[in-house]
A and B are shown apart, each in its own frame.
Chain A
Amino acid sequence: MKIAIINASPKTRNSNSELILSDLKHYLNDQCEIIDTKLSYNCAFNRVYNEVKDADSWLFAYPLYVDNMPSHLLKFLEWLSDNKLSTKRNIYAICNCGFYEGVQAECAINVVKFWCNKTGNVFSGGVGVGGGEAFDALKSVPVGYGPKTSIDKALGTIAQAIATKSTTSSKFVNLDYPRFLYKIGATGRWHKLIRKNGGKVKDLGRQLT
């Protein structure tokens, strides 16, 4: 059993997808051989494809962008299907949202499912993770505990499906942490970032003409 894990966050490092994948890998343990790769914004499709082509299953992890997957991942999927490069694999998807509600990733998970239907791959389950921006602050929390409890449970379930090359239903999960506190935390981060860049808090809402 070989699984290729494709981190399709456009970021070249420090992505929330990476942190979520590290929890997933905890559950995969050594039940299967993992090919770990990235599809950042600047990766050549050919190279990524060559890295993952020997795997029986692929997992795409990506952030939610404008209610959908990031465009470079969509372009990769178009490229694979236009060149008839993948079929009959088990495909899994994990989409993390900046918003609190994991269910906001539903359309973005469906896009992977419909890609599978068009290309003859087997869509085998997805997880929509809400509150992805909290993962950095939760680095020291052990897998399966605290605010990550429900999310990690869903990751455990999909890991089991991956390890047994089987299909599981898609799940949409939130942090076990109040939404209003997550919202306050996010506001604080934006304020800090704009100040760090030499701006004022009110510049966050600057209107350009």
Chain B
Amino acid sequence: MKLIITDIKNPNFNISGEHQIISPQRDIKPCIGCFACWTKTPGECIIRDGYNKTGITMGKCDELIIISECRYGSVSSFVKNVQDRAISYIHPCFVIKKGEMHHKRRYFNTLKLTAYFYGNDITEEEKENARNLMQSNVDNYNGELGKVYFYNSKEDLEGIAL
């Protein structure tokens, strides 16, 4: 399955195959840093606003597609909020991988992450940071990085084939 996380409210993409879209259809609450998703209700966030099960969905996917405005070399705050609320995809305990500390797996799927960033004034440095960020994310998700694209505007993404 493909999981698409986007800050575009009413996305119009041309998506093939089984998929789920997370977009700002309703308000999302920020993570409060309580770690309950690891130690109280392992696997699920305790804030019940409809964005509490993303970690579970990620465990069922083989593709993760992020479509976001690029803000200061980052994903936008909505996409980041969904990510923060989904750390239960991984296990709290640490492992050392490629000489750095990361997390153990909870699920055994491999996510391939593809990212589409948009914005009219994304600098080269910001693009590099956004790419590095996506690489760090897949290192922590134990996934693989696919392509990272940059578009000049949200409109350029209309009808894109995913």
Binding site for B on A (CB under 8 A): 9-11, 15, 41, 63, 65-72, 74-75, 77-78, 99-101, 104, 106-107, 110-112, 114-115, 117-118, 179, 183, 186-187, 190, 193-194, 196-197, 199, 203-209
The answer for the CA separation of A183 and B114 in the assembled complex, in Å, is 31
Q: How far is the CA of A179 from the CA of B95 in the complex (A)?
A: 11
Q: Is B151 an interface residue (CB 8 A)?
A: no
Whether the Cβ atoms of B59 and A41 lie closer than 8 Å is no
Q: Check: B30 CB closer than 8 A to any chain A CB.
A: yes
B93:A107 contact, CB within 8 angstroms: no
Assembled-state Cα–Cα distance A21/B40 (Å): 29
Query: In the assembled complex, which residues on chain B have CB atoms less than 8 Å from the CB atom of A205?
Result: 42, 91, 104, 106
Complex Cα distance A106/B125, Å? Answer: 13
Residue contact A78 to B40, C-beta cutoff 8 Å: no
The bracket for how many chain B residues form the interface is: 35 or more
CB A103 to nearest CB in B, in angstroms, measures 8
Q: What is the minimal beta-carbon distance from A119 to any residue of chain B, in angstroms? A: 9
The answer for the CA separation of A111 and B60 in the assembled complex, in Å, is 31
Check A107 against B33 for contact (C-beta < 8 Å).
Answer: no
Assess whether A111 is in contact with B129, with CB atoms less than 8 Å apart. Answer: yes
19 pairs, A vs B, C-beta closer than 8 Å: A9-B33, A10-B30, A41-B31, A67-B140, A68-B74, A69-B74, A71-B80, A74-B77, A78-B76, A110-B73, A111-B73, A112-B72, A118-B72, A183-B94, A190-B38, A190-B93, A193-B35, A204-B39, A208-B55
Q: In the complex, which residue of chain A has the Cβ closest to the Cβ of B140?
A: A67
CB atoms of B71 and A78 under 8 A apart: yes
CB-defined contacts of A114 to chain B, threshold 8 Å = 72-73, 123, 125-126, 129
Q: Is B144 an interface residue (CB 8 A)?
A: no
Q: 1/0 per position for B15-42, CB-CB distance to A under 8 A? A: 0000000000000011111110011101
Besides A68-B133, A183-B96, A206-B106, 17 more A-B contacts (Cβ < 8 Å) are: A41-B29, A66-B137, A68-B83, A69-B80, A70-B33, A70-B84, A71-B83, A99-B94, A101-B100, A104-B136, A107-B132, A107-B133, A110-B125, A194-B39, A204-B91, A207-B106, A208-B55
**CB within 8 Å of A: which B45-67 residues:** 55-56, 59-60
Residue of B nearest to A183 (CB): B94
How distant is A83 from chain B, measured CB to nearest CB, in Å? 14
CB-defined contacts of A111 to chain B, threshold 8 Å: 72-74, 129
Is B107 an interface position by the 8 A CB rule? yes
Closest residue on chain A to residue B121 by CB atoms: A118
In the complex, the answer to whether B38 meets A204 with C-beta atoms within 8 Å is: yes
Closest to B104 in A: A205
Chain A residues with Cβ below 8 Å from B30 are 10, 41, 70-72, 75
Return the chain A residue nearest B122 by Cβ: A114
Closest 3 CB pairs of A and B: A71-B81, A75-B77, A114-B72
Question: A156 to B93, alpha carbons, bound, how many Å?
Answer: 32
Contact at A179–B101, with CB atoms within 8 Å?
Answer: yes
Residue pair A11, B94 in contact (C-beta under 8 Å):
no
Give B160 Cβ to nearest chain A Cβ, in Å: 24
Does B143 reach chain A (CB closer than 8 Å)?
no
